[in-house]
Every structure is written in C-alpha cells, then in structure tokens.
C-alpha cells in the first residue's frame, strides 16, 4: 500500500493521539498522598521527619500537610504551573512556591530557596 499525503497525515495524527492518551500530565502525578522522607538545607537535615509527616494533594485543588516535629498542620488551595507548585495557605494568608525537581508516580523532590523536600508515595 502506497502512503499518500493524506494517509501520512492521518497516520501521524492517530499516532500522536494514541501517545497522548497514554501520557499522564504532571498534575496527575502530583495529586495523591505523599510521605516526607527528608527535609534538608545545604545537604544536612533541616527539619526532622517523623512517621506521620505527610502532604496530601487533592484533585479538588486543596492540600494539607503535617510536619509533627515543628508542629505544622497547614491547609489551603494549590495550583501548578511551569514545574512550580504554588501553595495558597488558608491561615496565615500566604503563598509559597516550590520548584519541582523530580515528579513521578513514586517520588517527589522539590525545593523552596535552599530547602529541599524529598517525598515518596504514601503506602
């Protein structure tokens, strides 16, 4: 079978749409329950991480996190753009910006200035 220009275009469009159907966008990887593994600054432990420390990113654009050692329980709304997670805190009325370094189904590494956060999917 000889491929005509129209057939080539249809084949390309089909291939692209098939590929797109199997790709998850970054936001889909971000949504879920994450367990803190490390919080570091300059390569050293900055905040001690305990077993119950977690970050939950919900599909309704809300989030909550808990870091017991510093008595932080925060919640609010989140947005994501250009590899940056924006957390809009309910109280105090604050916005923080975390640059995403690694984002996969199982691992999240992000930083805010010189503080690095390593998380894994919560079991």
Encode 80-101: b = buried (16+ Cβ within 10 Å), e = exposed.
Answer: beeeebebeeeeeeeeeebebe
Going from the N-terminus, what domains does the chain have, and what CATH number goes with each?
A: 27-121 (2.40.128.280)
Bigger pLDDT: 26 or 40? 40
Instruction: Supply 39's token pair.
Output: 């919080």
The per-residue pLDDT for range 44-94, each reduced to its tens digit, is: 999 999 999 999 999 999 999 999 999 999 999 999 999 999 999 998 899
Q: Across the chain, what does the average pLDDT equal? A: 88
Greater confidence, 121 or 27? 121
**Residues in Cβ contact with 23 at an 8 Å cutoff, skipping those fewer than 6 apart:** none
Strand 84-89 with 94-103, pairing: antiparallel
pLDDT at 22: 43
Model confidence, pTM:
0.78
pLDDT at 42 over 70: yes
Count H helices and E strands in the chain, helices first.
Answer: 2, 9
Question: Cα dihedral sign for 12, 18, 23, 25?
Answer: positive
């Amino acid at each position: 079978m000889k491929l005509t220009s129209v057939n080539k275009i249809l084949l390309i469009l089909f291939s692209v749409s098939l590929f797109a159907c199997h790709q998850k966008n970054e936001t889909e990887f971000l949504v879920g329950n994450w367990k803190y593994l490390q919080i570091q600054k300059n390569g050293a432990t900055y905040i001690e991480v305990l077993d119950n420390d977690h970050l939950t990113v919900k599909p309704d654009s809300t989030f909550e996190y808990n870091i017991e050692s510093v008595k932080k329980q925060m919640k609010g709304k989140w947005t994501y753009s250009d590899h940056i997670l924006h957390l809009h805190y309910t109280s105090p009325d604050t916005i923080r910006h975390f640059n995403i370094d690694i984002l996969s189904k199982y691992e999240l590494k992000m930083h805010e200035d010189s503080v690095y956060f390593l998380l894994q999917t919560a079991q």
